[in-house]
Amino acid sequence: MPSLHLQLCSVAKNGGSLQIDDLDREIVAELVRDARQSYAVIGKRVGLSPSAVKRRTDRLCRDGAIVGFSAVLSPEVAGSTEAFVELYCRDPLPPEFIGQVLDRHPQVIAAYIVSGEPDALVHLRTATVAELDEVLEQIRDELRAERTRSSVVLAPLLHRLPPLATGPPPP
């Protein structure tokens, strides 16, 4: 049963703000848990009608709080070799250029600009260690990387999607 007290938080959106309450958070939590469940099922869980859940979901999508829905692949299908790679470029390169180069490699599933020495942290998934080595060699060549430092994932400990923020964004 949802709480009668609705806590609002503001999420910045293109200079404006989007109001998200406890019911929105409950709906988002349900969608994160299983985005394929019906509005009727979600409504029963959060205490709303299916049409109210649909209206709120549509608003969250329209306003940019929800940016998409996706399927999560098993490692057997996506590739069983997963690695995080610190990338050290020989010359200073704009982050946009690094992103464009990495985007050409479908094995790169995420990449980040990070604090510290690396120019980027790259998350890859490949079918084999040999494929990982081949892709890294291509990336090093394309970015004229001085070196990379790889950590191959042996086993996952925890993976979850981030929760919806509960307070106002920092100023």
Q: Is the pLDDT of residue 2 over 50?
A: no
- 55 and 84: one domain? no
Task: Check which CATH number belongs to the domain holding 38 and give it.
Answer: 1.10.10.10
Three-class DSSP category at 147? strand
CA 26 to chain centroid, in Å, comes to 19
> Once rounded to an integer, what is the mean pLDDT over residues 77-96?
93
- 81 and 131: one domain? yes
Task: Check which CATH number belongs to the domain holding 139 and give it.
Answer: 3.30.70.920
- 97 and 145: one domain? yes
- 79 and 16: one domain? no
- 32 and 87: one domain? no
> Once rounded to an integer, what is the mean pLDDT over residues 16-42?
88
The model's confidence at residue 131, banded by pLDDT at 50, 70 and 90, is very high
The model's confidence at residue 17, banded by pLDDT at 50, 70 and 90, is low
- 148 and 79: one domain? yes
pTM over 0.85? The answer is no
Q: How many structural domains is the chain composed of? A: 2
Edge-to-edge strands, sheet with 108-112 = 108-112, 120-126, 81-89, 145-152
- 92 and 139: one domain? yes
Three-class DSSP category at 6? coil
- 56 and 90: one domain? no
CA 20 to chain centroid, in Å, comes to 20
Residue 118 domain-assigned (yes or no): yes
| Helix residue spans in the chain (DSSP H) | 22-33, 39-46, 50-62, 75-78, 95-103, 129-143
User: What is the extent of the structural domain holding 114?
Assistant: 75-152
- Kind plus residue range of the DSSP H or E element containing 20: strand 16-20
Q: Is the pLDDT of residue 1 over 80?
A: no
- 56 and 30: one domain? yes
The model's confidence at residue 115, banded by pLDDT at 50, 70 and 90, is very high
Task: Give the pLDDT score at 169.
Answer: 54
Residue 1 domain-assigned (yes or no): no
DSSP 52-79: HHHHHHHHHHHTTSS--------HHHH-
Q: Give tens-digit pLDDT for 156-170.
A: 899 877 776 666 555
- How does 19-46 read in b/e, with b if 16+ C-beta sit within 10 Å? ebbbbbbbbbebbeeeeeeebeebbebb
The model's confidence at residue 96, banded by pLDDT at 50, 70 and 90, is very high
